[in-house]
Amino acid sequence: MKKSKKLTKYVVAAATFGLASMMLVSCSSAGNDASAPKEDCTPATEGLTTVSDGTLTVGVPENLPYTQTTGDDADGFEIALVRKLAEAECLSLKFVSITYGNGVPMISEQKSVDMITGGWYVTEDRAKKVGFTTPTYFDSMAIVSASGANTVEDLESIGAVGSAAGFSWEADMTKVLGDNLKTYPSTIEIKQDLIAGRLKAALDGYAVATVAYEDTDFKVEIAGPDDRVAITTDQPVIAFPVSKDNQELNDALSVQIDAFRGDGTLAEILAEWNLPEDLVIPAERAAKSIR
């Protein structure tokens, strides 16, 4: 079932309600006990330890299509994958609302969650604080415009370009565009100014942009390679941050993710969210990722 209509509603909800600081308990997509482990369930890995016995506690930020809290549950394509991981290990699920500011400390310092979701890039700096599972998907810098611009060169003459502060391309794009690069708190404010005509183009992560602009006539294009902007020649790698002190859990989740890579499950999850299968990280690239 395609999720495009549902995704639009979630984006509106995120803009309305923001990041709620509440704990969410999930046993199924309908919020009942249907997906709790069956009594005769045999885990793929025996003896795993988690923050709460028998439960995988998962941090969830508001970042569709990766993740979104929905009432007492969660959704998004990473959540679809997490459900499969929990099922394989006979674990119940507990979802905890997080932000991108407190997510890593909730693993490394508070030790209150087993893993966090939301499209986290694997970086050497983050790897000093948390472990990473084997990677799942690539991200790319997307260009959003009415004209269909798809290269950095196109942006040099287009006018004002908006981007959320903190993206990995910010320094590179500032060198290219100078004062024409305008930074914003989030996609929501960028979209407002793009629609109002105060911006001529916007930059965002590709997956997020496909959702945010699906209700408009703007075109979302992956930026073509340009040696001046590193992300266009070396795509960011996404994985689940987990505790460095629980290598057994990391290994168990990684084995399952690699199996889902091999049998096509990772690609099927993307297809359900109208995203291309070439975002799946190939096994040979995954094997070289920081763990």
Tell me: pLDDT of 230 over 70: yes
* Backbone φ and ψ of 234, nearest 5°: -140, 90
Q: Please state, in angstroms and rounded to a whole number, the distance separating the CA atoms of residues 190 and 163.
A: 7
Provide, rounded to the nearest whole percent, the portion of the chain with pLDDT above 90. 83
* Backbone φ and ψ of 217, nearest 5°: -95, 5
Identify the burial level of 273 via C-beta atoms within 10 angstroms of its C-beta, where 0-12 means exposed, 13-18 middle and 19 or more buried. buried
Tell me: pLDDT of 141 over 90: yes
Q: With bands split at pLDDT 50, 70 and 90, how would you rate the model's confidence at 51?
A: very high
Domains 4-138+237-286 and 141-232 are alike in CATH topology: yes
- Secondary element (H or E) of residue 57: strand 55-60
Q: Please state, in angstroms and rounded to a whole number, the distance separating the CA atoms of residues 278 and 197.
A: 33
Specify the long-range contacts of residues 191-200, CB closer than 8 Å, at least 24 apart. Answer: 191/216, 193/162, 194/144, 194/162, 194/218, 198/160, 199/159, 199/160, 199/161, 199/162, 200/145, 200/146, 200/158, 200/159, 200/160, 200/161
This prediction has a pTM of 0.83
Mean pLDDT across 37-43: 90
Q: Please state, in angstroms and rounded to a whole number, the distance separating the CA atoms of residues 166 and 190.
A: 14
Mean pLDDT across 55-71: 94
Tokens of 151: 């290269």
pLDDT tens per residue, range 100-135: 999 999 999 999 999 999 999 999 999 999 999 999
Tell me: pLDDT of 1 over 90: no
Tell me: pLDDT of 11 over 90: no
Q: Which CATH class is domain 141-232?
A: alpha beta
DSSP 3-state of 195 = helix
Mean pLDDT across 217-238: 97
Q: How far is CA 236 from CA 107, 210, 217, 279, in A?
A: 22, 17, 27, 10
Mean pLDDT across 9-15: 41
Any idea which fold 4-138+237-286 has? Answer: D-Maltodextrin-Binding Protein; domain 2 (3.40.190)
Q: Where are the domains of the chain?
A: 4-138+237-286, 141-232
Task: Give the Cβ contact number of residue 226 at 10 Å.
Answer: 18
Quote the mean pLDDT of the chain.
Answer: 89
